[in-house]
Amino acid sequence: MVSFEVVEQSNRPNKKVYSITDEGHEALQKWTVAPVEPEPSRSELLLKTYTLWLADPAKALKLFRAQEDRHRSQLAHYERTLAAIAQEHPAPIKVQEPLFGDYATLQIGERYEHAYVDWCRWMIAQLEQATQATGEGL
């Protein structure tokens, strides 16, 4: 499936440079279009959200604000990376180009993070209303 060549280096350990074989290339082509099994969702934050009725809303606000910050940061990273790709490759990236895989996965990552930030903001608004209704501080 793969082969390698040892490259001798001075002042460093030798390194191996791997290459995909014709057989490996064929197997990868088949695997790429094979059906995908559904993945179970395992999110600790969603589990905590499910039991949020047990939590102090003011303390939960801190959790969701931190999550919003984390996901906003990741979203900004994806947006910068996509902008760099667009600057280096102004023409649309074709599906047949190796860069398309990077571009496509960044697209879903950007969309995911955008949705997560929106959801966190919605949760924060809900928790702020709850703390105001109970007279607790933010």
Predicted confidence (pLDDT) per residue in 80-128, tens digit? 999 999 999 988 999 999 999 999 999 999 999 999 999 999 999 999 9
Model-wide pTM > 0.75: yes
Per-residue model confidence (pLDDT) at position 14:
93
Residues 50 and 104 in one domain: yes
pLDDT at 136 exceeding the cut of 90: no
Q: Is the domain of 126 the same as that of 78?
A: yes
Cβ-based neighbours of 10, under 8 Å, separated by 6 or more: none
Q: Taking residues 44-51, what's their average pLDDT? A: 95
Among 89, 86, 45, 37, CA closest to 67: 45
Instruction: Say yes or no to pLDDT of 18 above 70.
Output: yes
Q: 48 and 81 share a domain?
A: yes
Strands (E), the chain: 2-7, 15-20
Question: How many Å is the Cα radius of gyration of the chain?
Answer: 23
Is residue 132 over pLDDT 60? yes
- The answer on 123 and 58 residing in a single domain is yes
Tell me which amino acid residue 90 is.
P
Count of structural domains within the chain: 2
pLDDT mean over 47-54: 95
Look up the domain containing 17 and give its range: 1-33
9 & 68 share domain:
no
| DSSP H or E run through 28 | helix 22-32
Q: Clarify whether residues 12 and 53 are in a common domain.
A: no
Residues 135 and 68 reside in one and the same domain: yes
Same structural domain for residues 67 and 130? yes
Residues 119 and 57 in one domain: yes
Residues 113 and 74 in one domain: yes
CA distances to 5, 39, 76, 87 from 115, rounded to whole Å, are 45, 19, 13, 25
Do 53 and 110 fall within a single domain? yes
CA–CA gap between residue 79 and residue 99 (Å, rounded): 16
User: For all residues of the chain together, what is the average pLDDT?
Assistant: 93
Contact status, residue 55 vs residue 129, Cβ threshold 8 Å: no
